[in-house]
Structure 1
Amino acid sequence: MRPMTLAKTSAAVLATAVVGSLASRPAKSAWYAKLRKPSFQPPPQVFPIVWPLLYADIAVVSAGAVDELTERGRHEEARTYSALLALNLILNAGWSWLFFDRGKLGASAVAAAALTASSADLTRRAVSVSGAPAGALGLYPLWCAFATLLSTRIWQLNR
């Protein structure tokens, strides 16, 4: 993997993390505290551990996939992967804004489902190019699927 590609994917992921964390500040608000939450919601300490690990995984696996595609002369597929990664990261940060900043519980559940589908597609694409090592990205759609379940249940409990 080329350092420049890793720098680009890392910068994109870091920007997503910053934008998402700015929107997540209301997680410490009275509004959030009053929301009814399901029994399976993880403790708050889990999120700042899981997300940096997932973000690092996204940056590394995506850089590897883009570079492999480029090295094989599959430039259009590399551009497509990069565009789909950008869309995924927009969905990722957008969820935080919908849920925490806007309090749009139903819309955030739908956005989480779209993020899950997008994450699964990125994983499929990365594995098809890079093989089993890219399978580590599979943790991302699994976490997003859990987030979809959690978001949907919070929406149901707070209608």
Structure 2
Amino acid sequence: MTTYIPSITLPGFLFEQPAAAILFPVALGTGVGFSVRPSETQKTYLALKQPPYRPPPQVFGPVWTLLYASMGYSAYRAWTTGMSSLNPVTVELAKQGATLYTVQLALNLIWMPLFFKFKRPIEATVDIVALTGITGWLTYVWGQVDEIAGWALVPYLGWLTFATYLSFGTGYLNDWNFHDKERPIATKPKNTKYVDEKAK
């Protein structure tokens, strides 16, 4: 059972207006991305051994921007639909979801610094497993409030599942230690963007 905890939940005005609801997670995600220095992040990403099906680093920025926007839209839909309902159960579910949403957003924002800046793959993987679980529960809770709000979180939940695989796979392939696996990328091998692959 989820509980609404006002003291750790984002204020209502961040849910009430569509522009604020959508732009807030986009701005936070972008800010965190730039705070860990994209060039250093890309260097770390390319230098580590990667599991199969990992996308090129250029994919992550656009994908996350879209996912943050859909997350914010879901928050707007669920909050405004729930808080205007005459059903007290629906109101309570909307408020409980707001707490879950705040917690998942915090977990989302700390993953990148854990993984890339502090190079802590174990902690980052624990974080993203918790994030995926909470987001799954949030999708269920807000889906009861507003069907569109629930469906708007599905791409995000799917991407988190894939990102969990990447986080675990990268940690495992690098013995859960990123510090001694990095090496300078002087030139890119032919036909590949990844230093752990040999040019054919």
**Do the structures match in fold with TM over 0.5?**
yes
CA apart distance, 1:137:
1.4
More helix by share: 1
- The more displaced of 9-18 and 94-103 is 9-18
Equivalent pairs: percent with the same residue? 29
1:79 is displaced (CA, Å) by: 2.7
Distance in 1 (alpha carbons) for counterparts of 2:20 and 2:148: 23
2:79 matched to 1:49? no
What does residue range 1-159 of structure 1 map to in structure 2 within 5 Å? 4-21=16-33, 22-23=35-36, 25=38, 26-29=40-43, 31-73=44-86, 74=88, 75-132=91-148, 134-159=150-175
Displacement after TM superposition at 1:17 (Å)? 0.9
- TM-score by length of structure 2 reads 0.70
Aligned to 2:197: none
Contact 1:35 1:154 in 2 (8 A): yes
Give how far 1:132 is off. 4.9
Unaligned runs of 5+ in 1: none
TM-score, length of structure 1 as denominator length:
0.87
CA-to-partner distance for each residue in 1:107-128, whole Å, 9 max, x for gaps?
1111111111121112112211
The one-letter amino acid paired with 1:51 is W
Q: How many positions carry a matched residue from both structures?
A: 157
Deviation string for 1:17-65 (max 9, x for gaps)? 1343123633133x44321111211112221221111111111111110
In structure 1, the partner of 2:185 is none
**Bigger shift: 108-117 or 149-158?**
108-117
* Gap runs ≥5 in structure 2: 1-12, 176-200
Alpha-carbon separation, structure 1, partners of 2:71 and 2:23: 11
- 3-state SS of 2:51 partner: coil
Q: What do the CA deviations read for 1:58-107 (whole angstroms, capped 9, x no partner)? A: 11111110111101154443332222111111011110110011100111
What is the RMSD computed on CA atoms of the aligned residues?
2.2
Deviation at 1:14, TM superposition (A): 2.6
SS in 2 for 1:33: helix
d(CA) in 2 for partners of 1:4, 1:87? 18
Q: What is the alpha-carbon distance in structure 2 between the residues aligned to residue 93 and residue 114 of structure 1?
A: 13
| Cα shift at 1:133 | 6.0
Aligned residue type for 2:56: P
CA deviation after TM superposition for structure 1 residue 4, in Å: 3.9
